[in-house]
Structure 1
């Protein structure tokens, strides 16, 4: 299997890269500063670190050329001023459609999950205002996936902690998990996203996730 990871140098992305290599997969790690991934810990003939610009269609097209699965864990500013999450997904979707690629696993936020009345959590009156701007960016990314013809999965965690995997977490479809501790280790999130990619889980579904 060949996996392309966008956002490969972030706290989740770098763990997806390492976990995928540990499983023997081919990995294309895409980013502007991917040189940082090439060290003695993950020096591997199956790893291609592609330096590129997310808004350059040729760079993105090249990155996904051999991919069986695309994983997007794009980050950005938390105040909504940075449109990397939404416009980045738009570029990836466009190039996937041009190349006939179908499977993408993408990272969003908990606000895009359903509330009990089937509205979205981020539309609730008590949704924290400091998370609203980035939540709306996640919503735009989700809407672009929803409008596409792709086999997408959209992971929607709360707080992501920069810690390795424990394997002790719970997932749920379209709603927040129960129990929900509003946190997930980056390693566990990477593990769940990679498992969904390899096992064809949660196709065209949102996924809530939390550590126990």
Structure 2
């Protein structure tokens, strides 16, 4: 299995790199700062420095891979369009390279509150999160408009901690019995499992650690 990880130097991205290597995958880590971050030294890991908005660079790194893992980040002001336009380019280059499977990290605001309303559209949703929630929603729309086998994981607060294996998921809605937080390690664990199991293709996924961890 050969995977490419976008956002590999972030909290979730580093967990994806570590866990994918543990599984014996061939891993490409793509980004501007991959050589300056503390990524593992491993013969199965290829660091690729590049620009997310460069069509040629992104195509080249995707071409020949079996799957794409996206943990794109950015600021919360709305001025940073990495999440949306970065996803737009990833989707376009995946289709060009005929790579179908993508696991991407979004945000909880993109999940359904009920059959008609997104969480981000509910009264009382924190206004400080609206810009980044809109970015996540735009990224989701690019995935929905594609021909890809996508899964869009929509976590609550992400905690910088290792995997516990104690988490629950739900399609399109937040899990009912969750804790409203998820360890970065557990988020990565689910993404790598789901990448191969394909239980939630063309769905959003709510995820949360279970109580008592």
TM-score by length of 1: 0.96
Alignment check: 8 A CA contact 1:37 1:49 kept: no
Name the structure 1 match of 2:85. 87
Residues 38, 206 of structure 1: alpha-carbon distance in 2 compared, 3 angstrom cutoff: same
Alignment check: 8 A CA contact 1:14 1:37 kept: no
Structure 2: runs of 5+ lacking an equivalent: none
Name the structure 2 match of 1:13. 13
Deviation of 1:32 after TM superposition, in Å, equals 0.6
Alignment check: 8 A CA contact 1:195 1:201 kept: no
Residues 38, 79 of structure 1: alpha-carbon distance in 2 compared, 3 angstrom cutoff: closer
Name the structure 2 match of 1:46. 44
Deviation of 1:36 after TM superposition, in Å, equals 3.7
| Range with greater deviation from structure 2 (114-123 or 54-63) | 114-123
Structure 1: runs of 5+ lacking an equivalent: none
What pairs with 1:117-128 in structure 2 (closer than 5 Å)? 117-128=115-126
Q: Which string of whole-angstrom CA distances, capped at 9 and with x for unpartnered residues, describes residues 23-75 of structure 1?
A: 00000000111114566xx2211111100000111110111112100011000
Name the structure 1 match of 2:191. 193
Aligned residues: 210
What pairs with 1:45-194 in structure 2 (closer than 5 Å)? 45-194=43-192
Whole-Å Cα distance in 2 between the matches of residues 199 and 26 of structure 1? 18
Report runs of 4+ in structure 1 exceeding 4 Å deviation: none
SS of 1:153's equivalent?
strand
Q: Which string of whole-angstrom CA distances, capped at 9 and with x for unpartnered residues, describes residues 57-107 of structure 1?
A: 111011111210001100011111100000000000010111111111111
